[in-house]
Amino acid sequence: MPVNGVKLIGREAELKEVDEQLSSGDMVILVSAIGGVGKTELCKSYFNKYKTKYNSAIWIDYKGSLKESFANQCKLDSFIEDDNIDQRFEKVIKYYEDENNSNSLIIIDNVDNEEDQSLLQITNLISNNIRILVTSRMVIEGYSTYSLEFLNKDNCKKLFYQYYKRQEDDSNLEKIISLAARHTLIIELLAKTAQNSRISIKKLYEILLDKGFNLNEVIKEKVSMIKDGNIVSEQLFNQLLKIFDLSTISEEEQYILMNLSILPQVGLQELVEWIELETMEEINSLEKKGWISINSVDAKDIIYVHPLIQETIRYQLNPTTDKCVKLIEAIIRALHTRPTDNSLDKKVYTIFGDYILKYIDEETERIATLSNNLSSIYIDLGNLGKSLEYQHKAVDIREKVLGENHPDLATAYNNLSSIYKILGIPEKSPEYQHKAVEIYEEMLGDEHPFLATSYNNLSLIYQDLGEVEKSLEYQKKAVDIREKVLGKKHPDLAISYNNLSMIYRDLGELEKSLEYQQKAVEIYEEMLGKKHPSLATSYNNLSLIYKDFGNMKKSLKYQEKAIEINEKALGENHLYMAISYNNLCSIYQGLGELEKSLEFQLKAIDIAEKVLPSNHPNLLIFRNNLANIYKKIGQVDESQSSHLNTEEVFK
């Protein structure tokens, strides 16, 4: 749902035209105009007036990319916690491709990246009778354009008097409207400025003349330049700054606006805390003057600054790391994850980091730290492209400003190695991890926890490469350090015990594998409690080890424990649940209970079909297992059907 809009003036005909255009065949419409004319308010009014004629209606604020915007703002039952951006977007597309969800309205506000490939992908939904309404200053290929014109003179007067409650003066107001070129945002700002300054309309007109204020040539000539990634008018900025001067913005108010100019919509309380405001006086003053608006959304006050105002403030005040240091450090802290944190809880802060890095492109350690923290969160969110981009940024800056042997540079190398490992680029992953190890060994000594982390990561890399002996060597090094430095009951030591256990399992040394997995379980049970997902992972691994031993009863016992934890911690429709049900299926086969085996394999497939892409390897494995079970119990037709489904995955 969009935040509540202002009372719309003089756009009744436009609302009707947009509705007729959507109804008559143009099912994807771009509402286009220069900034500040009222595109967003028109679409808010359309949403609120016409939403009941559709089966469903959603409002999306475009932030970063279309995929990110849908993934972060849509709420679907099929979403699971571990879904990455692409998986969520695919589920959104599937949802709207379903004929049960036809005749829906999607409004996407303020698209600012015409190269976003998903803008074309989403137009395929029109085949299912989906109407799409987009606002942007840009021309977007494949979209029918509705050009929003300026308000007429009479409606401009109504708009002005909506905010100016002193003596009316139509004669001088018409002159002001002419100077403002009937630009909606400018007229609103002028009205609020005059009201707040307690000056007459005549006096306002005289001041504007004295300052040389005139938007007409700016609008006519459309003299533009590229700045901050958008096509903007430098002349328009200069005219807006004359109103900025007229509003007598204090230094403290300028400080607030400068920070807001590099943020998306933000909660009022968060901003107050992040930039350490002592009172609300300046915030209230900026709202009265019209430079910001505050709306209540779900009982929370949200600050909104018009993009044109943000661009003007950035143009005038030039935000930098030093000028916005309190805000940047606050977001760095918000994105920092400790071992006991759930990084997915931090995803709400990623958009603030994204915006800061978009508008402050400096080679400072704070920007490197912000990039590093963002990268770490995006790994867990599954957005590996962004994670890699930000980690490279952190590495590049730290190589320049810290020198080649700084521990923080080693941390960036370590994180970069982890990303390449997840991306399946084995030749790059060891390279950066060895760089990290060399720095840690030289600068921190042989027994530092950071060095243990790098040894652990190197071990996992070599395990993936099939070099199990090297994997074992580095995991033992990690264990030695963690046992000495962290003590016998630290969760990080449990991680190494778990990894060491699975290496020994790969080597076929099941007694040692069992020994270290039991050690991991003991630590997790004591230090994290009996409901933690990490404990479920160890229970699952114990189950696999006992299955290798042929002890199916113990294998069953620990798999059921893993399922009990994950059901409560992750929910029924989670990929880990599908994996556990698949493991249960295998255990019941070993116990000769084929009906139960069938039951849990069907459960695994049911979840996997909801949460995985149709061509995912796990889904293929599950269906192949199902076919084999049907074959064992003599249901040949079902077995063949399952094999056919497996073949479909390959196509």
Euclidean distance between the first and the last CA atom of the chain, given in angstroms as a whole number: 39
Out of 18-27, 239-248, 551-560, 638-647, the most confident range is: 551-560
Q: 520: pLDDT confidence band, cut at 50, 70 and 90?
A: very high
Region for residue 266 given its phi and psi (left: phi exceeds 0; alpha: psi -120 to 50; beta: otherwise): beta
Query: Where do the domains of the chain lie, and which CATH numbers do they carry?
Result: 12-147 (3.40.50.300), 153-317 (no CATH), 331-570 (1.25.40.10), 571-651 (1.25.40.10)
Q: pLDDT digits over 562-597, tens only?
A: 999 888 877 777 888 899 999 999 999 999 999 999
Instruction: Inform me whether the pLDDT recorded for 113 exceeds 50.
Output: yes
pLDDT tens-digit readout, 271-286:
999 999 999 999 999 9
CA–CA separation, 235 and 223 (whole Å): 7
- Among 247-251, 365-369, 630-634, 638-642, the least confident range: 638-642
**Is the predicted pLDDT of residue 641 greater than 60, yes or no?**
no
Question: CB-side exposure of 635: number of CA atoms within 13 Å?
Answer: 14
pLDDT at 20 over 80: yes
Three-state secondary structure call for residue 144: strand
- Work out the average pLDDT over 491-511: 96
Residue 252, pLDDT score: 96
Q: What is the pTM of this model?
A: 0.77
Cα(515)–Cα(538) distance, rounded to whole angstroms?
12
- Please give the single-letter amino acid code of residue 532: H
Q: What pLDDT is recorded for position 557?
A: 96
Per-residue model confidence as pLDDT tens digits over 482-493: 999 998 999 999
Handedness of CA 218, 219, 223, 224 (dihedral sign): positive
Closest CA to 242 of 191, 175, 290, 190: 190
Which one is predicted more confidently, 543 or 92?
Answer: 543
Higher pLDDT, 614 or 36: 36
Measured CA to CA, the distance from residue 181 to residue 219 in angstroms comes to 7
- Tokens 């071992």 sit at which residue? 339
Q: Does residue 37 surpass a pLDDT of 80?
A: yes
Distance of CA 45 to the CA centre of its chain: 27
How far apart CA 417 and CA 37 sit, in angstroms, is: 48
Report the distance separating Cα 231 and Cα 248, nearest Å. 28
Would you place residue 129 in the very low, low, confident or very high pLDDT band (cuts 50, 70, 90)? Answer: confident
Predicted confidence (pLDDT) at residue 229 exceeds the cutoff of 60: no
548 pLDDT above the threshold of 90: yes
d(Cα 228, Cα 112) in Å, to the nearest integer? 11
pLDDT (mean) for 124-138? 83
Question: For the chain, what percent of residues have pLDDT higher than 90?
Answer: 64
**What's the confidence (pLDDT) of residue 644?**
38
Residues of the chain with pLDDT > 70, as a percent, come to 93
CB atoms within 10 A of CB 113: 17
Q: What is the mean pLDDT of residues 68-82?
A: 82
Which residue type is seen at 637? D
What is the average pLDDT across 50-65?
A: 91
Q: Is the pLDDT of residue 519 over 60?
A: yes
Q: Looking at the predicted structure, is the pLDDT value of residue 228 above 70?
A: no
- pLDDT per residue as tens digits for the range 404-457: 899 999 999 999 998 988 887 877 899 999 999 999 999 998 999 999 999 999
Give bridge partners of residue 145 from the DSSP assignment: 30
- Interval 201-224: pLDDT, tens: 999 999 999 999 998 877 765 434
pLDDT confidence of 344, banded at 50, 70, 90? Answer: confident
Q: How confident is the model at residue 179 (pLDDT cuts 50, 70, 90)?
A: very high
Residues 6 or more apart whose CB falls under 8 angstroms from that of 366 comprise: 321, 325, 328, 329, 332
Confidence band (pLDDT; 50, 70, 90) for 71? confident
Q: pLDDT band at 260, cuts 50/70/90?
A: very high
Q: Are 301 and 308 in contact (CB under 8 A)?
A: no
Confidence of residue 651 (pLDDT cuts 50, 70, 90): very low
Burial of 196 (0-12, 13-18, 19+ CB in 10 A): middle
SS3 573: coil
